[in-house]
């Protein structure tokens, strides 16, 4: 490679990524061909004044993508000019449910065909969460994690190189904006959604939020904080109930449920009692899914993030190595249940 690499010290793109991009561009242009030798790590660090680890990280990225390979005692050589070689991505969710399936499919489509995705689950067990991460560090080109915990997991997350990491759905407060985070502002989103529904909520004597003990359901503290703050600000009689029992359901009151199974039970109960959703009894849910569009006659009113758009944006952030904390949008979807 006769021409030295063009590295821009003040560019937003990390220097290691600039090295990767430059080598790939030269392969595209036909300047670098299969079998060509690359400059040694020492040559690049001495010529450009870069940290040794920066060059090592760039070469490791190219090696993981199957573009280059080391030869003992000789350095690195181009082994493939297929720059679209498969990128291996580690994805860690808490569990799979309807809205996460929508998110995952949108993410998968956005990442494209030349990506291999391995999907793992931690089921809200922080030990499993850490073990799965630690056991897979170094095995993938990129890591997408959904840390659905109401406790600090920043030290666990810091074990993943930040340039290969996207944190999805949750903001980890102790990590700064040099990390890539695409999150929901649960407290503000829930508060604003309830505010938009205020006139409908006022039709009822009280508003109750049901929490499920199901291990597949995660309720962020922000949702509870947004609920309590809204009820205090607008003097809404309220309560938080830890599990759904039919004897808690009363005519003239409104309820917030999360799980689809609980929603189906609620609708069946209301029908048996002759209660009309949106008239005799109110129902609101969080996170929109297809079943909530058609459940009961008029569907279920929801406060929801757009998970298709979140998945698409997550895919772009991975491809562009975009950093920073980005809050995804949320809205109230009014249907007949409230």
pLDDT of amino acid 248? 66
247-251 mean pLDDT: 77
The answer to whether 277 and 283 have CB atoms below 8 angstroms apart is yes
Checking DSSP bridges between strand 324-327 and strand 180-183, what pairing results, if any?
parallel
The values of phi and psi at residue 121, to 5°, are -135, 145
pLDDT of amino acid 213? 67
Average pLDDT, the chain: 89
Instruction: Please tell me the distance from the alpha carbon of residue 114 to that of residue 198, in angstroms, as a whole number.
Output: 47
Instruction: State the pTM of this model.
Output: 0.76
Instruction: Please tell me the distance from the alpha carbon of residue 23 to that of residue 65, in angstroms, as a whole number.
Output: 13
For 12-16, the CB contacts below 8 A with 24+ separation are: 12/323, 13/321, 14/163, 14/321, 15/50, 15/54, 16/54, 16/55, 16/57, 16/58, 16/61, 16/163
Q: What band does 239 get if pLDDT is binned at 50, 70 and 90?
A: very high
Q: Could you give the strand order of the β-sheet that contains 282-286, starting from the edge strand earlier in sequence?
A: 238-241, 207-210, 254-257, 282-286, 301-305, 330-333
pLDDT of amino acid 152? 92
The answer to whether 182 and 168 have CB atoms below 8 angstroms apart is yes
pLDDT of amino acid 81? 82
- Whether 132 has a pLDDT exceeding 90, the answer reads yes
Euclidean distance between the first and the last CA atom of the chain, given in angstroms as a whole number: 67
103-117 mean pLDDT: 91
* Paired tokens of 59: 């070469």
Domains contained in the chain, CATH given: 15-78 (1.10.10.10), 87-185+307-328 (3.40.50.2300), 187-305 (3.40.50.2300)
pLDDT tens sequence across 48-96: 888 899 889 888 888 877 888 988 888 899 998 877 666 789 999 999 8
Residue in 222, 171, 221 with CA at minimum distance from that of residue 326:
171
pLDDT of amino acid 116? 86
pLDDT tens sequence across 116-126: 899 999 999 99
Give the 3-state secondary structure of residue 132.
helix
pLDDT of amino acid 244? 67
* Paired tokens of 309: 């758009």
For residue 157, give every residue at least 6 positions away whose Cβ sits within 8 Å of its Cβ, in sequence order, or none: 133, 145, 147, 165, 167, 172, 175
The percent of residues in the chain predicted with pLDDT above 90, rounded, is 57
Lowest mean pLDDT among 34-38, 185-189, 200-204: 34-38
- Whether 246 has a pLDDT exceeding 70, the answer reads no
DSSP assignments along 33-52, one per residue: -TTPBPPPHHHHHHHH---H
pLDDT tens sequence across 138-157: 788 899 999 999 899 999 99
């Amino acid at each position: 490679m006769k021409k030295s690499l063009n590295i821009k010290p003040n560019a937003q793109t990390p220097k290691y990524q600039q090295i990767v991009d430059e080598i790939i561009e030269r392969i595209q242009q036909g300047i670098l061909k299969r079998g060509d030798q690359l400059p040694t790590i020492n040559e690049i660090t001495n010529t450009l004044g870069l940290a040794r680890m920066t060059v090592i990280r760039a070469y490791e990225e190219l090696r993981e993508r199957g573009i280059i390979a080391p030869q003992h005692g000789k350095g690195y050589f181009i082994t493939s000019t297929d720059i679209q070689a498969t990128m291996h991505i580690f994805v860690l969710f808490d569990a799979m449910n309807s809205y996460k399936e929508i998110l995952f499919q949108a993410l998968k489509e956005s990442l494209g065909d030349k990506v291999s995705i391995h999907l793992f689950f931690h089921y809200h067990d922080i030990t499993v969460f850490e073990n799965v991460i630690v056991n897979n560090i170094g095995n993938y080109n990129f890591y997408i994690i959904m840390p659905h915990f109401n406790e600090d997991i920043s030290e666990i997350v810091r074990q993943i190189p930040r340039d290969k990491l996207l944190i999805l759905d949750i903001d980890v407060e102790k990590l700064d904006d040099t990390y890539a985070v695409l999150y929901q502002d649960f407290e503000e989103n829930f508060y604003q959604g309830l505010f938009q529904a205020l006139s409908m909520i006022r039709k009822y004597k009280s508003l109750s939020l049901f929490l499920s003990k199901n291990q597949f359901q995660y309720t962020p503290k922000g949702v509870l904080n947004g609920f309590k703050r809204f009820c205090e600000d607008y003097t809404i009689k309220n309560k938080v109930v830890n599990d759904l029992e039919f004897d808690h359901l009363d005519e003239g009151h409104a309820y917030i449920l999360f799980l689809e199974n609980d929603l189906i039970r609620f609708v069946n109960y209301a029908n048996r009692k002759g209660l009309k959703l949106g008239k005799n009894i109110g129902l609101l849910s969080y996170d929109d899914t297809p079943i909530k569009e058609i459940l009961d006659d008029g569907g279920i009113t929801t406060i929801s993030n757009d998970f298709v758009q979140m998945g698409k944006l997550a895919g772009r952030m991975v491809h562009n190595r975009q950093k920073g904390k980005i809050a995804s949008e949320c809205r109230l979807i009014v249907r007949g249940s409230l």
